[in-house]
Amino acid sequence: MNQPLASILHTLKGNTMTELNTPASAANMIDRATQRSDAAIQAGTEAAHQALEGLSQSARQLQADAGHLSQRGLDALRDGTRDLRISARRAGERTVGYIHDEPVKSMLFAAAAGAAVMALLSLAGRSHR
């Protein structure tokens, strides 16, 4: 239980009916209860502010982490794209080199590949009829 609230309840339990019958005692008890309830409200307000500050710090950290992760993702994508471009360029250079070194074989491979593609398209066209 909250300390100021417990103190208020203790004060109320400790007073007898005769103590509450005098106006000064009743006013004094009301003043003490008011002070303790104000202290309880203040403690609750401070706890709420601390909780909000903690949440705010957590949100800022999550935002910073998300920014860092997205930057790492972009860097990885850029590196992967660059590596793919380099690989494609090398493959193209090797192909051109092979065609230059073996022109007859290259023409035969190209003709065979074209014939295979045409055969597959012809078979695919027949199956849809």
Q: Element (H or E) spanning 2, and its range?
A: none
Q: Name the pTM for this structure.
A: 0.45
What was the pLDDT predicted at 16? 47
The alpha carbon torsion through 66, 72, 75, 76 (nearest 10 deg) reads: -120
The Cα–Cα gap between 22 and 8 comes to: 19
pLDDT value at position 17? 47
Q: Which residues of 103-118 are buried (b: 16+ CB within 10 A; e: fewer)?
A: eeeeeeeeeeeeeeee
Residue 117, domain extent: 3-127
The domain tally of the chain equals 1
Q: Which of 7-21, 30-44, 85-99 has the lowest mean pLDDT?
A: 7-21
